[in-house]
Amino acid sequence: MSVQRLKFKEIDKIDLSEISSIIDKKASSSLNPKLDDIVAKNGDLLEVRIAYNSGWDRKSNGLTPDAKKKFLDADKSYHRMTNTNMTIHVGKRDVNKQAELYIKYKYYGEGNPVLWPGCSFHNWGLAIDLAITDTEALIKSLKQNGWKQTNKNNPWHFECSGSRDYEKAANVIKSFRVSKTGLAFRWSEQIAWYYQKTKTLNKRIPTYNNRLQESKAYAQALLSEIESFNIDSQALKSRTNNFNKDVGKFNIEHGKANRLLTEINSMHSSSQRTKKSNEYERILDKLEMESVRIAKEDNAIENENKQALSWNAQLHREIADYRREDDCLTIENKLLKKIAHEIEQHKSNAVLHLKSIETQTWK
Ligand SMILES: [Zn+2]
């Protein structure tokens, strides 16, 4: 009898490097957001308001000696006319109080409009606000004693224009008001900047913080997905390793069968040949079964690897998305911190300007 030739070829092993690789630690370590939330600035600038909050003089005591004398003379003459005294609501008002009133009106809509700090004659002890009872007598007695009603819209407000100090104060006030360089002008600019930027900053902070939270959650989800991907990928690799071992064994068996066939074909004894032929057939059946199993496994591994490769690509796209967002957030973070820093600078500049105004205004 003739013995059929081996119908199987040796099977190639799968190249492990073609199996989807796990995502390295470097890629996933970049998924730890390092940014912090940014805390909103105190919107109503309590600090500034408290720093400027000091009292004012409700009597004539804060007026310059000259203005005080002129007021008392006017009061005497008023008394002769009306048999009552004048009532001062505001006499001397210091520059800090002036600053506070200015901020309150301009940025909080409280109270009445007032001049910049240092620019009101109240700050110099040269102006008074009076209770108006007998207008005619009031104006007459004040006018006779060197006081002037300077603004028809504020009929209660009088300035001691007859005082020898008045012109001196007026000159300094003029210098305070000079555009760009005047202390009061600069103070008002710094304050305006401060409020505007604080508003901008506080508007942008919630958006930034929300985006940051979302980005952190995204990173967390992505990290755990990468972890399961890596576990699956590791499993696929060891499955492939086992497959390759089986292929190795199969190929060894395959070689043995080939040698057995050669041996059989060179045999002369027919009984021996029959015996060996049966053995050869059994080996062949086994090899056939094994080759079917290996082919199935080969297919399965190939499919799994295809899926893993597309998952891998998707994860890398998601990592890139995360990094783009993280870059944007880093830029926004820097910008917000810069604005916050500039706000602080403008605040301290405003405080410095106000101090300079205070020093240049006599007490
Ligand atoms: Zn006034």
Query: How many angstroms is it from 33 CA to the middle of ligand 1?
Result: 57
Query: How many angstroms is it from 122 CA to the middle of ligand 1?
Result: 6
Query: How many angstroms is it from 97 CA to the middle of ligand 1?
Result: 13
What pLDDT is stored for residue 248 in this prediction? Answer: 92
What pLDDT is stored for residue 104 in this prediction? Answer: 87
- Answer for the pair 56, 27: CB distance below 8 angstroms, yes or no: no
**In-domain check, residue 2:** no
347 and 220 assigned to the same domain:
yes
Query: How many angstroms is it from 211 CA to the middle of ligand 1?
Result: 50
What pLDDT is stored for residue 4 in this prediction? Answer: 60
Query: How many angstroms is it from 150 CA to the middle of ligand 1?
Result: 10
Q: How far apart are CA 309 and CA 332, in angstroms?
A: 35
255 and 296 assigned to the same domain:
yes
Domain region containing 333: 16-40+204-353
Half-sphere exposure of 239 (CA within 13 A, CB side): 18
What pLDDT is stored for residue 6 in this prediction? Answer: 65
**In-domain check, residue 361:** no
212 and 181 assigned to the same domain:
no
126 and 245 assigned to the same domain:
no
Q: Which CATH number fits the domain that encloses residue 119?
A: 3.30.1380.10
pTM: 0.76
Query: How many angstroms is it from 57 CA to the middle of ligand 1?
Result: 12
What pLDDT is stored for residue 1 in this prediction? Answer: 45
pLDDT tens string 112-124:
899 999 999 999 9
The token pair that represents 40 in the structure block:
């909103």
Q: How far apart are CA 212 and CA 203, in angstroms?
A: 15
Query: How many angstroms is it from 183 CA to the middle of ligand 1?
Result: 21
Query: What is the number of domains present in the chain?
Result: 2
Query: How many angstroms is it from 52 CA to the middle of ligand 1?
Result: 18
What pLDDT is stored for residue 17 in this prediction? Answer: 81
268 and 322 assigned to the same domain:
yes
What pLDDT is stored for residue 242 in this prediction? Answer: 93
Query: How many angstroms is it from 345 CA to the middle of ligand 1?
Result: 32
185 and 55 assigned to the same domain:
yes
Query: How many angstroms is it from 29 CA to the middle of ligand 1?
Result: 66
What pLDDT is stored for residue 310 in this prediction? Answer: 93
Give pLDDT < 70 ranges for the chain.
1-7, 25-29, 32-33, 40-59, 363
**In-domain check, residue 27:** yes
Distances in Å between the alpha carbon of 225 and those of 62, 86, 310, 316? Answer: 74, 82, 14, 11
Q: Which CATH number fits the domain that encloses residue 321?
A: 1.10.287
